[in-house]
Structure 1
Amino acid sequence: MARVILQAVVSVDGYIAKPDDMPGPLHDWYGNGDVEIAANDKGWTFHVSQASRDYLNPFWDAVSVTVIGRHLFDMTNGWDGVPAAGEELVVVTHRPLPQEWLDEHPDAPVRTAGSVEEAITLAKERAGDGLVVVSAGDVGGQAFAAGLVDEVAMDVAPVVLGEGKRFFGAHTGVALLEDPDQVVQGDRVLHLHYRVRR
Structure 2
Amino acid sequence: MGTVIMHNVVSVDGFIADKNDDVGSLHEWYFSGDTSITEGGDQQYDHSGAGSGFKVSRASAGYVRQMWESIGTIVMGRHFFDLMNGWEGHPPAGDHVVVVSHRPKPEGWHPEASYHFVDSVAAAIDKAQELAGERTVAVCAGDVGGQILAAGLVDEVAMDVVPVVFGSGKRYFGSIDGQHLLEDPHVVIQGDRVLHLRFRVRR
Gaps of 5+ in 1: none
Q: Which residue of 1 aligns with 2:50?
A: none
Q: Is the 8 A contact 2:45 2:92 kept in 1?
A: no
Q: Which residue of 2 aligns with 1:17?
A: 17
TM-score w.r.t. structure 2 length?
0.93
Is 1:41 the counterpart of 2:49? The answer is no
Query: Between Structure 1 and Structure 2, which shows a larger proportion of helix residues?
Result: 1
The alignment's C-alpha RMSD in Å is: 1.2
Output the amino acid matched with 2:198. H
Q: Is the 8 A contact 1:138 1:168 kept in 2?
A: yes
Alpha-carbon distance between aligned partners in 2 of 1:186 and 1:50, rounded to the nearest angstrom? 8
Q: 1:21-170 to 2 correspondence within 5 Å?
A: 21-38=21-38, 41-44=44-47, 45-100=53-108, 102=109, 105-170=110-175
Alpha-carbon distance between aligned partners in 1 of 2:82 and 2:7, rounded to the nearest angstrom? 19
CA deviations 1:65-111 (Å, max 9, x no partner) are 000000001000110001122110000110112214x2xx1201101
| 1:133–1:108 distance in 2 versus 1, CA, 3 Å | same
Alpha-carbon distance between aligned partners in 2 of 1:139 and 1:162, rounded to the nearest angstrom? 21
Runs of 4+ deviating beyond 2 Å: 38-45
Output the amino acid matched with 1:161. F
Q: Which residue of 1 aligns with 2:198?
A: 193
TM-score w.r.t. structure 1 length?
0.95
Give the C-alpha shift of residue 42 in structure 1.
5.0
Gaps of 5+ in 2: 48-52
Q: Is the 8 A contact 1:40 1:85 kept in 2?
A: no
Alpha-carbon distance between aligned partners in 2 of 1:176 and 1:10, rounded to the nearest angstrom? 19
Output the amino acid matched with 1:99. E
